[in-house]
Structure 1
């Protein structure tokens, strides 16, 4: 059966689009408490889905559904245009279900992720952060991968154009950004900034840290093996002096 127009897929191509999701929370200023906040609420918070560098992602993301704790009125909030976020007040931490709905051209099913809302400081200097009423940021980097997207969506993802068409085919396995002016990009910035900790420099530093940790683990294993060999040698010497035959290996 022939493929319906608009449903033909770009074979051998995977297109990824990075994004971040998370929350920001801050305790109320006693002198400037929100007038409509319930008496038992202590914080104002915001949960969001956005581009890595605050770039527009609505060309592939149609809407976002946030499922809050059931104690909230209208606990399911659907945001159909940027910014994809919900701002609320509260007193407790809970898991938020986030469902990503892609644009109709994608023909892709929604994807669900989860985020743990954090209201209280964590890490170093917790007491100091609490006294200064610092904003608590809990954020995650993620990527959505569209495997063999339909042609119409592929052109939408990449911005279209002749140079994009040339990247189709068996040789193209993963597309990040292609073409010249007007093309949509998925490139992560070279350097981080105060509002964006995700960059090529950060990635490189993390890879170096992991590589160094692996070297340390390999050296620890080597040292432990040397210690074990020395103990086995010493045990064999003791057996020999006591006239105890060495253990035989089972067949």
Structure 2
């Protein structure tokens, strides 16, 4: 029988942000079979990753299952922790990758589903497309969040332990004969929260390193609200048009009935 889950920390919620995305390139390219399989024109990697300054995924993520298009051999690929949680393949077409996240056993949490649409073609402005073609690299990412409501006591310890940031430390020498230090480097302090500003960029920028920030999050939310407002205006105009067409049809019907 499985071990009973520990008691839960009442009134507590812990969030973890992470990235789901893919990179892609035109074949032939380094790291892929040369020559590529017949008919395959693109190489790609789909992944689940930590934020550049965030906690190590393996502190809460046990394994990830990637479900590829049914035409692939072994279309269901499971990657065990500590990762990297990614699958690299070649192909020619885009499709939705189903992703199932399994949490650490001590969490007592059920697996959750996410989906990522594999992007293989350049996108964005003409300048962005030109840069992607020149570098032969497509990066398509999105920020995802999971919430652990009233986590088990054992899982809570893992989610709040300093060790989850160990992967961000680098070794610094202290002189001959002295034990080296392991310290953080970079412009953004390690945190489980989204940083206020992006690393190496301005408000809301997204660099090659996936510099997610609260500023970028606010920008996306504002854009979504603006789009929702524009859509609502279009729907209202369509509703008025429908009412006007309905009124005219009623007038025509009344006119015919009167004859």
* Shorter-chain TM-score tier: 0.5 to 0.7
| 1:116-148 CA distance string (max 9 Å, x none) | 101111222286357536322211101100111
Asked whether the 8 Å contact 1:52–1:196 carries over to 2, the reply is yes
| Aligned match of 2:59 | 59
Residues 79-228 of structure 1 aligned to structure 2 (within 5 Å): 79-81=79-81, 82-125=83-126, 128=130, 131-132=133-134, 134-159=136-161, 185-193=191-199, 194=207, 195-206=209-220, 213=226
Aligned-partner Cα distance in 2 for 1:152–1:139: 31
Which residue in the other structure is 1:75 paired with?
Answer: 75
Q: Distance in 1 between matches of 2:88 and 2:9?
A: 39
Matches within 5 A, 1:25-64: 25-29=24-28, 34-35=33-34, 37-53=36-52, 55=54, 56-64=56-64
Instruction: Answer with 1 or 2: which has the greater Rg.
Output: 1
Task: Give me the TM-score of the superposition, normalised by structure 2.
Answer: 0.64
| CA distance 1:199–1:9, shift in 2 (3 Å) | same
Alpha-carbon distance in structure 1 between the residues aligned to 2:157 and 2:104:
13
**Paired residues of 2:23 and 2:45 also in contact (CA < 8 A):** yes
TM-score by length of 1: 0.66
Q: Which has the higher contact order (CA 8 A, sep 6+)?
A: 1
The one-character-per-residue Cα deviations of 1:17-39 (angstroms, maximum 9, x if unpaired) are 11010111111148997326212
Query: 2:58 aligns to what SS in structure 1?
Result: coil
Distance in 2, Cα, partners of 1:31 & 1:188:
33
Q: Mean alpha-carbon deviation: is it higher for 84-93 or for 121-130?
A: 121-130
Unaligned segments of structure 1, at least 5 residues: 161-183, 225-251
5+ residue gaps, structure 2:
163-189, 200-206, 238-259
- How many residues were matched structurally? 193
- CA distance in structure 1 between the partners assigned to 2:152 and 2:96 by the alignment: 34
Deviations 1:213-247 (A, max 9, x none): 49x97xx9xxx9xxxxxxxxxxxxxxxxxxxxxxx
Q: Secondary structure at the match of 1:40?
A: coil
How far the C-alpha of 1:41 sits from its partner, in A, is: 0.3
User: What CA distance in whole angstroms lies between the structure 2 residues aligned with 1:54 and 1:21?
Assistant: 15
